[in-house]
Structure 1
Amino acid sequence: MERSRLGRYWHLVTFVVAVVAVVLQFAVILRGHTIIDTDVAAAPLGEQVRRFFCYFTIQSNILCAVATGIIVFRRTEGPLFRVLRLASLIGITVTGIVAAIALQPSPSYTASQLLCDRLLHIAVPVLVVVGWVAFGPRGYVGRADVLPALAWPVVWVVATLGLRPVTGWVPYPFLNPDRVGVGGVVVACVVITALFLALAALIVWADPRLRANGREPVTS
């Protein structure tokens, strides 16, 4: 099988897994279960839905689904895809790293909760990163895309912390000053920011070097 076709199939599988993971997690939330936040089940339905879309994990998986869908359907031209591609790569990599370090699944998870957790935090990150390394497409990320791509996580952090005094809720325990203290939240934000910047620099540096023959969309 030629490389471009194999790459397209890989991205198609990634797209399907990301969509299924998000939809399944949404169904689990609506059934009154949760992955991280023990207060979700007690919240009104509208608040459950709002909180669901506030999770960085959910947002990064959605961005990956959109980005890989664009690749599969051959709509990769234009600056919007460049920014989306870089943002999704950074976001899903951070999701996988943070989940491995700070968000271990609870032993009390049901089968559906554990499945969602593993799809969102392991399967999609691995598929996206391996797909980028092995198949590209190349030439769609550059230095000019870094600041626009990082605007999303910056806005997410500011909105998450800014809304806490109003809602009394944050999506992750390491951003909750009641659990880790204000200093702990500051340290977490600094570490995550450094991780974002390091990953952005690594991706921009590595992308043209993974295959020296330049722009090589897998769908061409």
Structure 2
Amino acid sequence: MTYAATPVTPETRSGTVIVAVLRLAITVLVTAAVIATVAEAAGRTAINPFNMFGYFTIQSNIILAVIYAVIAVVALRGEAASPALNIARASVTTYIIIVGVVYATLLAPLGAAGGVPVAWANTALHIITPIFALADWILFSDRARIAFNRLWIVLIYPIVWVVVVLVRGATDGWVPYPFLHPDTGYASVFFYVGLIVVVMLAFGSLVFWISGKRSVLRIP
């Protein structure tokens, strides 16, 4: 299904600017939250940046911030997002939704141990960005329908992340999450790797399905 282009009027142009500003605000929020998290850790101990930035939550939020900044600039220039940028947005939306779901169901019940030590940064990275990303994808019309035969693209980043984690776990022993540690046995590790793939495909399918639906708010 293809929708007709929205005529550019002062009202729709205003909507484009507002949405761009909201996305830039999320970019600023993520940047501040990551900096605050790094600063807090550095105040307690010497930090290894490969460990600090090895968490899926941190990486996904940084990717989200970058994608939103690019999309906002493109929109403010009066241009449409390219197909590649549209798929990148869909992919990072998938990742950040999973971050929110995993936090809400598995990590939040653990209290401080399940999140970022800086309370407001934890809220920003685990709650605000997932909710905003899902709402952004549902509400705003500056997205294009994505064919399901491109769903494999969503797996590229998570697979690279998992491979790096497994290599590090087998060499220097560091993993961001205990269930991926080789000491638990590779049968268990690969079970969770398979589960990650299934979850990514499930949420990616949801995001791709939404891309074909009529948005709530029409902007160019």
TM-score (norm 1): 0.78
Give the superposition deviation at 1:21. 1.8
Give the superposition deviation at 1:79. 4.3
Check the 8 A contact 2:81/2:142 in 1, yes or no.
no
Q: Which segment is superposed worse, 82-91 or 5-14?
A: 5-14
Distance in 1, Cα, partners of 2:115 & 2:170:
32
Give the superposition deviation at 1:181. 4.7
Count of matched residue pairs: 203
1:21 is matched with 33
1:115 to 110, 114, 120: 120
Give the superposition deviation at 1:108. 6.8
1:69 is matched with 69
Check the 8 A contact 2:61/2:129 in 1, yes or no.
yes
Measured at CA, do residues 100 and 182 of structure 1 come closer, stay the same or move farther in structure 2, by a change above 3 Å? Answer: farther
Kindly indicate whether residue 144 of structure 2 is the aligned counterpart of residue 139 of structure 1: yes
2:134 is matched with 129
Distance in 1, Cα, partners of 2:164 & 2:72:
32
Give the superposition deviation at 1:87. 1.9
Q: Which segment is superposed worse, 80-89 or 119-128?
A: 80-89
2:49 is matched with 49
Give the greater-gyration-radius structure (CA): 2
Structure 1 unaligned runs (5+)?
A: 33-40
Report the aligned-residue RMSD. Answer: 2.9
Give the superposition deviation at 1:156. 0.6
1:204 is matched with 208
Check the 8 A contact 1:10/1:131 in 2, yes or no.
no
Secondary structure of the corresponding residue to residue 83 of structure 1: helix
Distance in 2, Cα, partners of 1:29 & 1:103:
19
1:189 is matched with 193
Distance in 2, Cα, partners of 1:110 & 1:54:
14
Measured at CA, do residues 67 and 109 of structure 1 come closer, stay the same or move farther in structure 2, by a change above 3 Å? Answer: closer
Distance in 2, Cα, partners of 1:111 & 1:153:
21
Give the superposition deviation at 1:210. 3.3
Distance in 2, Cα, partners of 1:70 & 1:204:
20
Give the superposition deviation at 1:207. 1.0
Cα deviation digits, residues 177-199 of structure 1 (max 9, x gap): 44x55444333222221110011
Give the superposition deviation at 1:141. 3.9
Check the 8 A contact 1:4/1:135 in 2, yes or no.
no
Measured at CA, do residues 125 and 146 of structure 1 come closer, stay the same or move farther in structure 2, by a change above 3 Å? Answer: same
Secondary structure of the corresponding residue to residue 11 of structure 1: helix
* Letter matched to residue 56 of structure 2: F
Distance in 1, Cα, partners of 2:36 & 2:134:
22
1:100 is matched with 104
Cα deviation digits, residues 21-55 of structure 1 (max 9, x gap): 222222223223xxxxxxxx4xx54xx21111211
Check the 8 A contact 1:83/1:146 in 2, yes or no.
no
